[in-house]
Chain A
């Protein structure tokens, strides 16, 4: 097998993008999984997609469009998730379908070839440039940095927002921060993985990690490892079988999730045994 391809700049760029995007997306995924808001994440990724298409149609930077529309979606969804008074799933469903509708509307309105739009839909990690990588790198550092710096506040907000509020943590601020981070990460990784596929790279690695551990920091770590593993293995398969890389990344992350679900110790909750406390507290 010829692996000289990995010597090429475009492949190295793709690998770096996969690593950085995998880390950023999987970290965001931990919030999405533990705060039970997968649908909100799907909605935001479609909002980013619609925004990017709006940019392509009207001729401004798709990244700005994606950022703007996903933040606007977060601004609508945030209060719904925050108050929890009406069933948020219904309203998120309405916004989700609106975003998908808008995306296809902008695509239809776009003159000329639609290759740019299709690239956003499927992703094109192989055409990533150094500046894309810079942006992915900044995102990954910011996301991981925020998790490390505000770990205890984030942990409390994820565990129970009202409780976090009642001990004096500005949990509402953190909720909005988390939504904002989700929107930004999706925006930045959109072009590499694609609007339709990005969400699996967010959800699957974190969902797999969720199956395997009762420790939150370990879950963040495992999710990042699975995210990177999905990206790299996906890229490899994409090269070997000459198929779109976004799709292979998603399939790999789903396989990792399935394996984690099958071997999950949490499936046997009754069989959970613990050592005496003295042996465990160090």
Chain B
């Protein structure tokens, strides 16, 4: 645990008038599980997009897996970075089944002019098994529920055999059961495969308990980071979400009461 896999140094990213990141620095060690939390618009998603090379830096540097990100090497680096986004709106009549969608994960590493072979399909089936979707493997992708779609997205991401696993609000808009299932699955994957993982969420209850480190973001800056128990205090959350400390306590107690 001493080689930084991701090194972000003073990154500034801006979309039109809005500055999404205002000078963010972060190092992530190999195998580390980072939870990134903060209100909407804090720049959490943007930090993931600069790790997979889709976000455009206007200042600062990002090194991923030992390579500096330049406009030219984004595609080759992205093949080694898995990305799971929020539940997507998929056309219910899309002519593709679950197995084919998971195979897309392997398309990047296969490269142009090469067709998926037996080995690739074997990897796809293994990943479907891992996420518990084997029985729906041949179902049209648009017929799945949100939770099932996210399992497929995770399988697709793993089929890529990535070194880095990025999850951007993977549990947003899922029901409580689906949410906890996905969180358990992410934990299982991290525990068994030791992938360097960055998990972004705006929802405190969707923050995996197994994070090694929590990063609190607000207004395009990293506001604080460290061990989950030390970071997720009432005081910090009150600052992060701009709600009085009393209200934070009340909400957290209510949450615990409803859950138990």
Partner of B85, one of A34, A163, A280: A163
B95/A214 in contact, CB under 8 A: yes
Q: Check A168/B108 contact, CB under 8 A, given A152-B115, A218-B95, A274-B139.
A: yes
Minimum CB distance partner of B52 in chain A: A166
Within 8 A of B (CB), among A122-170: 149-150, 152-153, 155-156, 159-160, 162-170
A281 within 8 A of B: yes
Partner of A277, one of B52, B100, B134: B134
B54/A152 in contact, CB under 8 A: no
Q: Check A281/B138 contact, CB under 8 A, given A167-B78, A168-B79.
A: yes
Q: From residue B1, how far is it (CB to closest CB) to chain A in Å? A: 26
Rounded to whole angstroms, the CA-CA distance of A170 and B78 in the bound complex is 10
A155/B112 in contact, CB under 8 A: no
B75/A168 in contact, CB under 8 A: yes
Rounded to whole angstroms, the CA-CA distance of A280 and B110 in the bound complex is 25
Minimum CB distance partner of A173 in chain B: B75
Partner of A150, one of B81, B112, B156: B112
A9 within 8 A of B: no
Partner of B105, one of A34, A149, A167, A219: A167
A241 within 8 A of B: no
Rounded to whole angstroms, the CA-CA distance of A281 and B85 in the bound complex is 28
Rounded to whole angstroms, the CA-CA distance of A150 and B112 in the bound complex is 7
Partner of A159, one of B79, B93, B101, B113: B101
Q: Check A168/B76 contact, CB under 8 A, given A152-B116, A277-B134, A277-B137.
A: yes
Q: Which residues of A contact B139 (CB under 8 A)?
A: 274
A214/B140 in contact, CB under 8 A: yes
Q: Which residues of B contact A215 (CB under 8 A)?
A: 95-97
B104 within 8 A of A: yes
Total CB contacts across the A-B interface at under 8 A: 97
B246 within 8 A of A: no
Main secondary structure of the interface of A (DSSP, over half): helix
B56 within 8 A of A: no
Q: Check A277/B107 contact, CB under 8 A, given A166-B52, A168-B78, A219-B95.
A: no
Q: Which residues of B contact A210 (CB under 8 A)?
A: 93, 95
B94 within 8 A of A: yes
A159/B83 in contact, CB under 8 A: no
Q: Which residues of A contact B115 (CB under 8 A)?
A: 152
B140/A153 in contact, CB under 8 A: no
Among A153, A162, A167: residue with most chain B CB under 10 A: A167
Q: Which residues of B contact A214 (CB under 8 A)?
A: 93, 95-97, 140
B104/A34 in contact, CB under 8 A: no
A272/B140 in contact, CB under 8 A: yes
A240 within 8 A of B: no
Within 8 A of B (CB), among A200-258: 210-211, 213-216, 218-219
Within 8 A of A (CB), among B115-143: 115-116, 125, 134-135, 137-141, 143
Partner of A272, one of B109, B143, B156: B143
Q: From residue A132, how far is it (CB to closest CB) to chain B in Å? A: 32
Q: Interface digits, A262-282 against B, CB 8 Å rule (1 contact, 0 not)?
A: 000010010010100100110
Q: Which residues of B contact A266 (CB under 8 A)?
A: 92-93
Q: From residue A158, how far is it (CB to closest CB) to chain B in Å? A: 9
Rounded to whole angstroms, the CA-CA distance of A156 and B138 in the bound complex is 17
B79/A155 in contact, CB under 8 A: no
Rounded to whole angstroms, the CA-CA distance of A66 and B135 in the bound complex is 50
Q: Interface digits, B175-216 against A, CB 8 Å rule (1 contact, 0 not)?
A: 000000000000000000000000000000000000000000
- Give the top 10 A-B pairs by smallest Cβ distance, nearest first: A168-B108, A168-B79, A167-B108, A166-B83, A168-B78, A214-B140, A216-B95, A156-B104, A219-B95, A168-B75
